[in-house]
Structure 1
Amino acid sequence: MNLLLATDASVERSGVCLFILNWVREIRKYDSDSFITVYFRKSIIDNDIFNQYKELNVDVVLGGISLNGTNFSSQNRKKIFSDIQNIIRNNNIDVVHVNSSAIGFSSQVLKIAKKENVPIRISHSHGKHLGNGIKNLYLWYLKRCICRDANVYAGCSLEAGKYLFGNQVNNSDKWHFIPNTIDVHKYGFDPDIRDEYRQKLSLKEDDILLGATGMLTKIKNHAFLLPLIYELNKTTGLNYKLVVFGEGEERKRINEIATELGITDSVVLYGVSSEISNWLSAMDVYVMPSLTEGLPIGAVEAQANGLTCILSDCISNDIDIADVIHIPIDKGIKPWMDTLAGFKRKNAEQRLDGARKMIDAGFDISSTRDYILKLYGPK
Structure 2
Amino acid sequence: MSKIKVMHCLGQLNTGGAETLMMNIFRHIERDKFQFDFLLFNDEKGFYDDEAKSLGANLHYTPSMGHTNIFKYVRSIIKILKDQDIDIVHSHMDWQGGFIVYAAYKAGIKKRIVHSHANQEMFKTSLLHKLLISINKYLIKRYATDCIACSQEAGESLFRQSFEVLINGIDIERFLNPNQEIIVQLKQELNIQDTDIILGNVGSLSENKNQRFLIEILSKLDKNYKLVLVGDGAMKDKLKQLSKGLNVNDRVIFAGVRKEVPEIMQLFNIFLFPSKKEGLGIVAIEAQVSGVSCIVSESIPKQIDVGEGLIKRKPLIFNEWVDSITNINKNKTNINKQKIIDSHFSIKKSCEKLIRIYIR
The answer on 1:361 being equivalent to 2:343 is: yes
Aligned partner letter, 1:32: D
Whether contact under 8 Å (2:343, 2:349) holds in the other structure is: no
**Structure 1 partner of 2:172:** 184
Please say which of residues 79-88 and 156-165 is displaced more in the overlay.
79-88
**Structure 2 partner of 1:59:** 58
**Structure 2 partner of 1:131:** 123
**Structure 2 partner of 1:93:** 86
Summarize the Cα distance change of 1:186–1:271 in structure 2 as closer, same or farther, 3 Å threshold.
same
In 1: Cα distance, 2:166 partner to 2:87 partner: 21
Deviation of the 1:10 alpha carbon = 2.0
**Structure 2 partner of 1:172:** none
Deviation of the 1:131 alpha carbon = 3.0
In 2: Cα distance, 1:274 partner to 1:354 partner: 25
**Structure 2 partner of 1:154:** 148
Gap runs ≥5 in structure 2:
none
**Structure 2 partner of 1:259:** 244
Summarize the Cα distance change of 1:190–1:55 in structure 2 as closer, same or farther, 3 Å threshold.
closer
Matched residue count: 351
Deviation of the 1:209 alpha carbon = 0.5
In 2: Cα distance, 1:147 partner to 1:134 partner: 23
In 1: Cα distance, 2:338 partner to 2:321 partner: 28
Deviation of the 1:76 alpha carbon = 4.0
**Percent identity over the alignment?**
25
Deviation of the 1:280 alpha carbon = 0.9
**Structure 1 partner of 2:22:** 20
Gap runs ≥5 in structure 1:
66-70, 170-174
Deviation of the 1:45 alpha carbon = 5.1
2:218 to 229, 245, 250: 229
CA offset digits 1:256-285 (Å, max 9, x no partner):
010011111110111111211211111111
Whether contact under 8 Å (1:180, 1:297) holds in the other structure is: yes
Deviation of the 1:106 alpha carbon = 1.1
Please say which of residues 132-141 and 83-92 is displaced more in the overlay.
132-141
Kindly report which structure 2 residues correspond to 1:141-290, keeping only aligned pairs within 5 A, or say none.
141-166=135-160, 168-169=161-162, 175-188=163-176, 190=178, 192-193=180-181, 194-233=183-222, 239-290=224-275
Please say which of residues 155-164 and 55-64 is displaced more in the overlay.
55-64
Deviation of the 1:21 alpha carbon = 1.0
**Structure 2 partner of 1:39:** 39
TM-score by length of 2: 0.91
Please say which of residues 52-61 and 186-195 is displaced more in the overlay.
186-195
Aligned partner letter, 1:16: A
1:120 to 111, 116, 133: 111
Please say which of residues 213-222 and 76-85 is displaced more in the overlay.
76-85
In 2: Cα distance, 1:72 partner to 1:51 partner: 26
Deviation of the 1:224 alpha carbon = 0.8
Deviation of the 1:290 alpha carbon = 0.7
Whether contact under 8 Å (2:62, 2:77) holds in the other structure is: no
Deviation of the 1:198 alpha carbon = 2.5
**RMSD value, Cα:** 2.1
In 2: Cα distance, 1:344 partner to 1:298 partner: 19
CA offset digits 1:303-350 (Å, max 9, x no partner):
221111211111111111132111112x2x111001000122224xx2
In 2: Cα distance, 1:354 partner to 1:311 partner: 21
TM-score by length of 1: 0.86
**Structure 1 partner of 2:6:** 3
Whether contact under 8 Å (2:179, 2:263) holds in the other structure is: no
Aligned partner letter, 2:42: K
Whether contact under 8 Å (1:158, 1:177) holds in the other structure is: yes
In 1: Cα distance, 2:253 partner to 2:353 partner: 40
In 2: Cα distance, 1:356 partner to 1:275 partner: 23
Aligned partner letter, 2:173: H
Deviation of the 1:83 alpha carbon = 3.5
Aligned partner letter, 1:327: K
The answer on 1:372 being equivalent to 2:330 is: no
Please say which of residues 315-324 and 245-254 is displaced more in the overlay.
315-324
The answer on 1:327 being equivalent to 2:325 is: no
Summarize the Cα distance change of 1:282–1:146 in structure 2 as closer, same or farther, 3 Å threshold.
same
SS in structure 1 of the partner of residue 157 of structure 2: helix
Summarize the Cα distance change of 1:224–1:363 in structure 2 as closer, same or farther, 3 Å threshold.
same
In 1: Cα distance, 2:191 partner to 2:355 partner: 46
